[in-house]
A and B are shown apart, each in its own frame.
Chain A
Amino acid sequence: MNLVLIVLVVSVIAAVLAAVLVFADTYINNYGECEIDVNEGTRTYTVKGGTSLLGALTDQKLFIPSACGGRGTCGYCKVKVIDGGGPVLPTEDGFLSPEEKKENVRLSCQVKVRGNIKIRIPDDLLSVREFTCVCSRIRELTYDIREFRFTLEEPDSITFVPGQYVQLLSPVYAGSSEEVYRAYSISSNPADTAAIELVIRLVPGGICTTYCFEHLKEGSPVRFNGPYGEFRMSDTDAPMIMIAGGSGMAPFNSILHQMKSTGCTRTAVYFFGARKVRDLFYIDEMRAFEKELPNFTFIPVLSEPQGEQWDGETGLVTEAVQRHFNDASGHEAYLCGSPGMIDASIVVLKKLGVPEDRIYYDKFS
């Protein structure tokens, strides 16, 4: 009985001390003005200390990718803290590899600004902006995939590289009590700077996709930030193998628009895997690209064509790639889709002689 009492008393004391520390840190500590140095002085911000690094940067309109809104649950908001970040917290530990810890990578949402901080981020993030826009068109592509067009308001134009993505804000709605961001590749023509289009598949239980499919209407206001990402077409002349499935179509549609508008004559073979005819979309657009791009071929592949009117390629998309090439050693490969599809495609492409460093991919993870 005494032992239980002692444990209880110690627990209560520890809880009270923890509460006092949190209270003191929040309301009493005054860290004053702190300086955040980004990329060796490329940008310098003076901020009021005491907030999270992620929050301080967001207030300065410097957007670090984050899906959970800074709650420390997604692990996306990594930055390299060169100086001033303090020790790694237990809340970050599970998100950081040993290599990342050695390199001083931190979750910016868990780093508190208590003094001057020096950080290093990819240069691309410096050009990320927040956009407000209006959903100007919703187009049903398949039974579970839709295309959303967002016409920009502020700023009223966007520059992006085909293959990049944006983070769409899912606001609070009936059934979702928190704002979250989710990443989607831009599908549209980069020359169309007044709007972007996203291809989104409904995910069961998905917070943002449920918002997009059940709550977002034409005319609704929308916010996103971006563009992000390094998945893009190289500037070589190497022939390309493109492989995608489902909403992985998006970046390739954008890349093909760019190839058309720049008069690109690179050879490109695009394999698009789907289960049934009802899962195919953008077929007319792809056939139009075949006419407009002299060396482009589109090959849709159905894995479950039984009972359907279909005389195209069948089987797994990777099997179609293997049937089409004996030796692809001079090629570059571009992949976008599920981790399983990408992993299987990499195995096949390496067998066909494509060097691993010429296989570029955007994995859904």
Chain B
Amino acid sequence: MKQTVQMQELEALMRSSQIVAGGFLGSDTRPLSEIIEADEADVAALGATLDGLGAKMAELTAAGKRGLGTAVAVGDGLSVRVEESRGLLICPWPNHGRFLKTETIVTRLDTGVSIHWSDLSAHLIAAHGFFQGRGSAFRVEPRDLVAMLSLYHPSSEHPSGTS
């Protein structure tokens, strides 16, 4: 992927902390286009699609929201919890919208391993193929995300705190 002038401007914005503390690229020194290209290649190699990942992430967030901050059991041994904070975050890509400060935490009940994403980071993955830079607060490895989401089937949800 070519690192265009627009991409360079976008990368400068992402390396700054104008939108999130520490920026979107963390300690990753690779150009933005290279980060996106590498992660998209990983997703394709894993037999997944960005649209498919985005749809499952959105479903999991919606399921978690019904727990009002409490973990909800979903899929094959997963729990999902959603934390909401005051305010909005904008997408660094021009005119791509604003997102509530919502953090979704998905945990494998057998191992305790968790991954998390914000509404904005789910949008960045689904719409822009951008999993964020290594060392950033919301970086998620494509292989970890694909593995976690493969355990999710949208059935048998219930708030684990009340059952």
> Interface residues, chain A, CB within 8 Å of chain B?
67, 71, 73-75, 94, 175-178, 182-184, 201, 203-207, 210, 245-247, 273, 275, 302-306, 314-319, 338-341, 344, 364-365
Contact = CB atoms under 8 A, between A and B. Distances in A.
A176 B159 CA distance: 37
B68 A182 contact: no
A344 B64 CA distance: 13
B162 A316 contact: yes
B98 A303 contact: no
Interface string B61-78: 000011111110000000
Given A315-B161, A339-B100, A176 B85 contact: no
Interface in B90-110: 90, 95, 97-98, 100-101, 103
A204 B138 CA distance: 9
Nearest to B70: A303
B102 to A, nearest CB: 8
Contacts of A365: 86-88, 100
Contacts of B103: 204
4 cross-chain pairs, A with B, having the tightest CB-CB distances, nearest first: A338-B84, A303-B70, A364-B86, A303-B161
Interface stretch (B14-22, B33-41, B48-56, B122-130): B14-22
Contacts of B83: 338
Interface residues of B, number: 36
Given A177-B16, A315-B162, A273 B138 contact: no
B82 interface: yes
A75 B68 contact: no
B10 interface: no
A259 to B, nearest CB: 24
A183 B70 contact: no
A73 B90 contact: yes
B21 A319 contact: no
A203 B95 contact: no
A303 B21 contact: no
A101 B142 CA distance: 41
A365 B88 CA distance: 6
A210 B95 CA distance: 27
Contacts of B20: 205-207
Contacts of A75: 88, 98
A245 B16 contact: no
A287 B157 CA distance: 36
